[in-house]
Amino acid sequence: MRVVVARATYKSVSEGGAVAMTTAPLPKELFRRSLLAPRLVAHILVAKYRFGMPFLRLSKWLGSSGIEVDDAMMCRYAEEAGASVGAIVEACADEARKTAFCLATDATGVAIQPEPLATGGRQPCKKGHFFVVLADRDHVFFEYKPRHTSAAVCDIFRGFSGYLLSDAHCVYDALHRGDALDSPDATPPLEVACWSHGRRRFWEAAVVSKEPLAREALVRIGALFDLEERAAKLAPEQRHALRQRVAKPLVDTFFDWLHEHDAVVRTRRGLLAGAFGYALRQKDALGRYLDDGRLPMTNNVSERALRPIAAGRRGWLFFGSDDHATAAANLFSLIASCQLHGLDAEDYLADIVRVLPYWPRDRFLELAPKYWRDTRARLRDDEMDRPLGHVTVPPPPPAKDQPAPR
């Protein structure tokens, strides 16, 4: 006699009046003894990390539909899911540092709940930092660091030797000096500055201080932006040619004009002096976008990528710990990369929860959003449509289609 019971899969064998009970191997799961299906886990993660809904509010919203999941359970699932998919994010970051032409980065602060005091007293939240990194049109990944320092930046970009687009904060100076190189033969990343940051300072001087020179600077910079808008749909080679022919003379003239008035402006303190100083200090980095048609003129794309965090922290206020923030960074990374590649983040995360327990450790890059369509096409639909059960790992893709090894 054989009895198969749904999930436990018991076998009962009767021989001569004696009954022996054995348990068949259970299918692998990302969450041990999970109560939630992968689709519900994915729904919770997307609601929090894409749309900024706090777990308490989400718990009440699901409860109104008869789905009872408390916020503490959601928090545990989010932290475990974020820690588990960290291997995928690290594979994406490794590929970006090795192969990316240009990395664009920015950072924003978040509050971290402090450890309770031994005396039982309360203390304020500490501050942590999320760095976002966009690798060409391939990956978006977030890194959580407890401190916004040169050491943190060098750790994120260690081994990268391409172009780095940033906001000219002093923490990046060590990186451009070569403090994060893997070998003495490597070259440090080349700094690309953001014209939007430079323009913003002149705008403040024009609006707040009513400076005529600031208004003239805005007109000169505006001509560069107008040209870039015309070149937006051109191929990189054509854009580079247009920049060399038209933009380069405008940039050279702009900096000549700055040098001409700098001696007078420097005698006065104020917004205009700050705008002049910023532009002149960043002269080489601001002009570097002229080197290649693939380089962007601004770092606006990084600032837009940080919006889910900047908007969401108004609702969920703080992270419970550094570990929780690190797990959240991994989930932010995959969801943002799904948006970059036109994937439904909820579908993607539900599938990842299913396949990750079975996936070989040396092939995590195949699970990245950049490669997911090809990987998903090689999986069996009959297995993936079930919320539980074995998943057959397909062989690696052909060498020509295979992601770069870690």
Could you tell me the two tokens for 122?
């309360």
Give the three-class secondary structure for 159: coil
Nearest CA among 192, 204, 106 for reference residue 153 = 106
What phi-psi label fits residue 342: left (phi over 0), alpha (psi between -120 and 50 degrees) or beta? left
> Strands 18-23 and 139-145, how do they pair?
unpaired
pLDDT in tens, 304-344: 999 999 988 888 889 999 999 999 999 999 999 999 999 99
pTM above 0.85, yes or no: yes
- The dihedrals phi and psi of 110, each to the nearest 5 degrees, come to -140, 155
pLDDT of residue 401 exceeding 60, the answer is no
Tokens matching residue 216 = 């003239």
3-state secondary structure of 39: helix
197-234 pLDDT, tens digit each: 999 999 999 999 899 999 999 999 999 999 999 999 99
Using the 8-state DSSP alphabet, how is residue 319 labeled?
Answer: B
Q: Tell me the mean pLDDT in the region 113-127.
A: 85
How far apart (Å, rounded) are the C-alpha atoms in residues 266 and 110? 36
Q: What is the dihedral of CA 38, 44, 50, 52, to 10 degrees?
A: -170
Each residue's pLDDT tens digit, 80-111: 999 999 999 999 999 999 999 999 999 999 99
Amino acid code (one letter) for 332: F
pLDDT at 41 over 70: yes
Every domain of the chain and the residues it spans = 36-184+300-406, 195-298
Which of these, 102, 273, 117, 278, lies nearest to 190 by C-alpha position?
102
Cα–Cα distance measured from residue 147 to residue 164, given in angstroms and rounded to the nearest whole number: 20
For residue 322, count other CB atoms closer than 10 A to its CB. Answer: 15
DSSP state of 66: T
